[in-house]
Structure 1
């Protein structure tokens, strides 16, 4: 079947849904072209089908394709941002990273290398998981590309700064502790948003503060509102290179039942989208949307929410210039830092 695509501003966009029904054809993200169908991408979207790091319900290995299917309903114009992201930048679906489901260390190495390969020419990367273990290698790649530690904005019901689980250092509950220990996060610009629920003990919060994280709980979002939340986050982040990691369980189970470790009392999909839109203009170098587990996703609520979160993140990235010399710039920055 011939792919009849929208072309706008010299960019190859999604399949034209006025000529080919939304339910027909291959399910790339937002029906965008594959990476091999364009000369290069300003924003690449990649799936990571991996859930060997989960501690409760599995299934996130099927999340990327579930989000792609839900994204068939997305359209080329984003009215909330008054922006046509697929005309502003060349966006393409890079397919899935071929991760080892039996060896977490090997999987982490593969994800990191693929992220480096996909961003070698300056493209910005949006990753759809997969469980939250994948954030660590993605952060490693982002820090290498930017030449130093990155700011982190982490949307999640949980802290994900625990030390080990059953003696394992690499799980979906430990990526940000490992990232702090490795020095790839800017500890002056770390924030959790949407956290809630019981913890193992008060020390969890004490450790988290020691690592440098600020916390905006789901209750804080409710009482303070989106605008105050955004103002605090922007003040903390400043102009630093920013990585955004979205665990879909940041949403209340009413909005996202299809996830591995749901917690009551979460923020709404509207609140999450409005907070993300409030980040417009910040130096967003990479992002992920993780922990979508289709087997528990009644009526595709989670897939729809996650697809819109990914769409708004792509929209934010589309306005930013492609960093064509990121590899050289990162090397130069590392050399300068080493001389100080």
Structure 2
């Protein structure tokens, strides 16, 4: 078996030199195959407030230059135990949301055809729907752990069915998610009305607010989530605005009172051993960032997701 090809050696080539692939990993076309592919989706035509997440993948890659090969929090070397590669960006139509969704789904299907698992960097949260469709095509309806300040289960915006505020309602309607294992984490802030919570509950979501995390702590929350997820195929979707604006100012719809980056990372580490089949990190809008605070946080979140994937190697897809 060929040893995985890891990041560029920073003791020989400075971190600030060379192409900005994620964590300075090889490109997908430089390896025979990848167990995990990091792919960007520079798309933000589905936003309802501040645009700019189309520049998220490039910013997160640039901020990931400082990541190192060993993860002490998970006690794993995620680039040594599996082949991780940067698959570049999925080029999507910035003027047609429907076409963009189809393009993302087709690309995700192709990338996953040989069992590769995806960690996707957005882009706005609209991209979660085609990624969930692709995951369900391989694994059946998936459990979803959704970190976000917002529910993202609204019906429409200005009559549009596909926006960054609607992907999880559409996913439930399409049957691509397991409604017995759906959770929001980090929600907070004003809503349009109490019925938003009622409708969300009807769709099957449980809610852990940012205040719940503050009061109960990351370990207790992670235990609760593990109990809800069980051993189901799991998809994790992380809107960086789940973090407080102090930790992630560079995002399109910031809300006060969010998670700290430490809380988010500790909850993720508490999910070690779960059957993770794919994940995304979205809504990084670098134009509103300061000193790469948001991009650095997002790069570490993606690194933790890759670490979780390393702890449980890919399993055969449904029907494989």
TM over 0.5: yes
- Give the one of 148, 152, 168 matched to 1:176: 168
Structure 1 ranges of 4+ moved more than 4 A: none
RMSD: 1.1
- Residues 9 and 88, structure 1, Cα contact 8 Å, conserved in 2: no
Distance between the aligned counterparts of 2:248 and 2:210, measured in 1? 15
Q: Describe the SS at the equivalent of 1:69.
A: helix
Say if 2:93 is the partner of 1:100. yes
Q: Match of 2:157?
A: 165
- Residues 256 and 305, structure 1, Cα contact 8 Å, conserved in 2: yes
Q: Describe the SS at the equivalent of 1:14.
A: coil
Say if 2:114 is the partner of 1:124. no
Q: Match of 1:198?
A: 190
- Give the one of 293, 298, 307 matched to 1:306: 298
Q: Match of 2:236?
A: 244
Shift of 1:320: 2.2
Deviations 1:40-80 (A, max 9, x none): 00000000000000000000000001000000000001111
Q: Describe the SS at the equivalent of 1:189.
A: strand
Distance between the aligned counterparts of 1:204 and 1:313, measured in 2? 30
Count of aligned positions: 320
Look at both structures and tell me which one has the larger radius of gyration over its CA atoms: 1
Distance between the aligned counterparts of 1:212 and 1:304, measured in 2? 33
Q: Match of 1:268?
A: 260
Relative to structure 1, the CA distance from residue 311 to residue 180 in structure 2 (aligned partners, 3 Å threshold; closer, same or farther) is same
- Residues 76 and 310, structure 2, Cα contact 8 Å, conserved in 1: no
Q: Match of 1:229?
A: 221
1:283-322 matched pairs, under 5 angstroms: 283-322=275-314
Say if 2:24 is the partner of 1:39. no
Deviations 1:71-112 (A, max 9, x none): 000000111111110001000000000101010000000000
Q: Describe the SS at the equivalent of 1:305.
A: helix
- Residues 238 and 281, structure 2, Cα contact 8 Å, conserved in 1: yes
Q: Match of 2:82?
A: 89
What TM-score do the two structures reach when normalised by structure 2?
A: 0.99
- Residues 121 and 326, structure 1, Cα contact 8 Å, conserved in 2: no
For structure 2, the residue ranges without an aligned partner over 5 or more in a row are: none
- Residues 277 and 314, structure 2, Cα contact 8 Å, conserved in 1: no
Distance between the aligned counterparts of 2:318 and 2:195, measured in 1? 39
Q: Match of 1:220?
A: 212
- Residues 62 and 130, structure 1, Cα contact 8 Å, conserved in 2: yes
Distance between the aligned counterparts of 1:138 and 1:76, measured in 2? 27
Q: Match of 1:11?
A: 4
For structure 1, the residue ranges without an aligned partner over 5 or more in a row are: 1-7, 330-340
